[in-house]
Structure 1
C-alpha cells in the first residue's frame, strides 16, 4: 500500500495531536508515549508495539475517531510499561494475549474514572476489562489473569467476560503476534523500568504542586511492589537442594511474577518443601534503598518460584546480625522489615550460625550484598553451601557460588 506524502503528514499530525491530548488528560501515559517512535504497517491489521515503536495499519487508523485513537495509544504504551511484550513466551499465546488486554484495558478504565466509553471502539464495543472471576483486571497481573483463564478453559467463552457488552469476548483489539518475534533484550527491559521510575517521579512532583493525586494505580503499585527477581536460580539452588528434594522437573512453574527470568525447578512431589534456607540481606550504609529493594526482590522471587513450598529465614546484618525471622509463605515474608545502617562484617553471619543454629543448620546460606567487606575463610561456613548474590561486577569472592543482580541506579 503506497501512501502519498500528504496522507503520511495527516497520520503524523493525528498521532502528534493524540499524544498532546493524552499528555493533558492523562499525563503519566503522555510522558511515557514521548519515549516511543511511531510508524505505519499496512500488513498488521490494527496496531502493535515492539517496545520501541508503535505502528498502525493505515486502514485501522482511518477507522478510529480521536477518542478511540487515544485509547489505542494508551493501550499500546501500557503493554510496554507493564512489559507484556517482553514476556509470556512460555505461555499459551491466545490466553496470554487476552490476559494482557484485560489488565491493560482495566487500568485505562480506572485512569478514566471507570467511564467505559473511554475503552470502547465503535467496531468492537466495550473492550475486555474484567477478570474471569468478575473483578476488574487492574487488581491483577497478566499472569494471574492468565491462570484464571486456564482454569476456565472448559467454560463457555461468554463467561470469560461477564459484562455482556463486548461483541466478541476473546477479541484482541491490537496485534500481539510481533511479541513472539522480539528477541530477549535485557537493556530495553531495564530501560523501561528506568523510564517508568522517571515518569513516576515527574508526576509525583507535579501532583505535589497542584495538590492532587494523578498517578495511575498500576504505577503506584509497581513502585511500591518489589522489583522482579533477576537471578536464574535453576542452575544455582538446585545444587544445594537436590539432596533434600529429588523429584523435580525443569519445566517453569506457574508464576504471578510479571516479568522475570527467575526459574526454579517445578516440584512434582506436592508434600516436599525446600526448608531451612537462610537469607541474609546486607543493610549497611553502603547499601542504598534500591539495592535493598533488589535484594528483597530476590527472596520474594524465590518464594514465588517455589509456589509456596520454600521455607526459610530472613535476617539482616551490617556490623551485627539482626536475628533471622522464619517465614513459611509470602505473607509472613512481607511482614519482615529491614534494619541496619552501619558497617559490613560477613564473619558475624557465620559466628551467629555457629552460636545459635548448630542444632538445625541451614541447608544453604544466601547472602545478598554489595560485597564491600573482607571475606571470611571458607572453613567458617562449616560446609554449608553459600551463595554471594552481589549487586555489582566489581567484587569477586574467593569462594562460594556467585550470582549478580542489577539495581535501578545501574541502568
Structure 2
C-alpha cells in the first residue's frame, strides 16, 4: 500500500476509533515532503515523508497522527517564541505523549515520556530540560549544539519507562520498525537522501520521531515568534471536537483535564464576571468638572460623569443542576452590578422552555432570585425568546451545568457568557465561559 493511501486509511480509522483526534486531524491538509524525517505540522499542513509512513504499522501511524494533531490543539505552533526549536519539540512531546498513551495509542519506538512531566506545560518542561542540558556542560541546547543530531531514548522492557536523555556518541542508534529493521534498510540511495533532509534543522527538529511542530506560517522569518498569542480557529475546533467525542463516549481523564486548562483557564469567576460586564458599559464624559488626574500636568480633559450599561439578561438553567448556594453567590454578584450601574437585569428561568421571568433595577436591591420550573435542559428557548421580543442586551449570562448539547445553530449578535457549575458538561460552540465554584 502506498503512503498516501495508507495515510488516508489511518485518518479514517482514527475518526471512527478516536473521534476527538480524528475530527481534528481532518482540519489539516496532507502534503508529501521528502525533505523531512517523519511528519510535521504548522497548524494547517500535515506534511509527511512517504518512506517514514511506509515503515510504520497502522497502529503506530494512528498514534503519530494523534500526536501531530495535539501540537496545534495545544497551541504549540503559536507558543514557541524564541525558544530553541529542537528542545521546544522535546518539551511539547513530553507534555502530550502520556495523554496519548493513556488514550490507548501506540507510538513508534523512541517516543518521549517521563512521569515527572505528566500534567506540566510545555513551557515548564522546556525550562527544566534547559537546566538538564546546562548541568551536562553543553554550551548550547537543542539543534544548535555541536553534539549529536539526534537524541535517542532507551526504555526498560520496551514500555517507554525509565527513559534517560543521552548526550550521545558517534555510534548513535538508528530508529527501527516493528521487525527491528532500520528505517534506512531496504531504501535505495534516493530514498535515503530524501529521508535525511537538506539541513541540520530538518534532521534534528523532531528528536522523539513522533511528529514535529513548526511555527504557524505567519511567523516572522528567523524570529521564532509565531504572531498571535492563540489560534482561535483551533480552540473553537477543539471545543466542537470535545462535544462530538462526548456524544460518542467518555474522554480519557488526562485529555479532559488538558482541554479544560486550554479552553477555560482557572481565574476567579467573580473577577471575570465583573470584567466582562464592565467592558460592555458605555462611558459618558463631561468637561465640568475636568479630570483631576491630568490637572497637575496642565492638561484640561473631560472627566467620567456616568457609566451606562444596557439591559443585561441572565438565563438560569432550572433542570435541578443549580444548587441554592450557587444562586445566592450569583445574586450577590448581580446585586453589585446594579450598585455600580443604573441598569436593568432581566432573569429568564428555563428548562425545556421559558418557565418564568423576573425584572430587576437598582430599586430592587438586594436581589432575591426565585427559581421557576424544572426538568430537562435546552438552551435554545432563551435565544429564541430574546429574538422574538426584540431585546438587544448588553450581554447574555447563562448559568448552567452545561450538561446539554442543544445549542442554537447560529451565534447571536450580542455577547454570551456561559457561567458553568460542576466543572464538566458540553463546551459551548460560541461565547466565553467561566466556572462558578
Name the TM-score, length of structure 2 as normaliser.
0.46
Larger CA Rg, structure 1 vs 2: 2
Q: Taking CA–CA contacts closer than 8 Å with sequence separation of 6 or more, which of the two structures ends up with the larger relative contact order?
A: 2
Name the TM-score, length of structure 1 as normaliser.
0.48
Choose between structure 1 and 2: higher helix proportion: 1
